Structure 1
Amino acid sequence: MGLVDDTGFDPVDAGGAEDSWRIQMATPAYCTELTVEQLHKALATADHAASRVRREAILAIVGTWEPDEAFLPDVVALNRAAARLHRLAASRFRFVSG
């Protein structure tokens, strides 16, 4: 954790190997550009079964896109939408536009 902190990033302990699915594709923590506080909450709200279904849908959608300058922001927006982070915004998340 110290090395991550030393490089200017905020380290987050996401748990052991048994919890590694919580940071994989199609979970609220994956590719959603969250703050440390938001990331802790995203890890806690992850749903293993739902993430499998979302992963297939996300891959199908992204597979139809041509890479361009908006690709990464679009992927982040898609991952946030698929994890329904906007529905959690009122009670659990505060996103800063920018």
Structure 2
Amino acid sequence: MPSIDIRRTHPLGLDTARQAVDKVAQRMREKFGVDTRWEDDTLRFSHMGIDGGIAVNDKEVHVQARLGMLMSALKPRIESEIHAKLDEYFGPATTN
């Protein structure tokens, strides 16, 4: 099963990072009908063909998702959208 695994550091702190993930979750629910729920500091999400989580701590956001067969063809597009949303809510990625 294809998967997505993206980590990004951020300067926001835990509370602000959770608020940013809440905004992303709201958009996922409205736009795609995705089911979401918090488990500690991880927002779990699921929808037909995709399930995963967005874990946050005071310095990092970590997106993991498992894609079903039909969604696997859209993996590059999904990853691109994730990166765009991370840029929007957490700032641009930095390179070391």
Query: TM-score, structure 2 length as denominator?
Result: 0.33
Task: Give the structure with the larger helix fraction.
Answer: 1
Task: Give the structure with the larger strand fraction.
Answer: 2
Query: TM-score, structure 1 length as denominator?
Result: 0.33
Query: Relative CO higher for 1 or 2, CA cutoff 8 Å, sep ≥ 6?
Result: 2
